[in-house]
Amino acid sequence: MRRRGLVSNLYRAARMANDVSTLASGNPHRIARRARNKIIGRAVARAGLWRLLWG
């Protein structure tokens, strides 16, 4: 398994903090939007579209 660098860990912590903040807000629209964006982002990443655009 690859070790993550400091910057990678900081970005990961920021994403996790955003998830926690979204869930703690209790706003169902915000929670749904966050979940939808995570699902879309993962699908785009798995499809390799980010590499096509910026690779």
Distance between CA atoms of 27 and 32, rounded to whole angstroms? Answer: 9
- So where are the chain's domains? 6-54
pLDDT for position 19: 95
Per-residue pLDDT, 11: 95
Residue 22 corresponds to which tokens in the numbers above?
């979204």
1-55 pLDDT, tens digit per residue, is 778 899 999 999 999 999 999 999 999 999 999 999 999 999 998 998 878 877 6
pLDDT, residue 50, reads: 77
Measured CA to CA, the distance from residue 45 to residue 20 in angstroms comes to 22
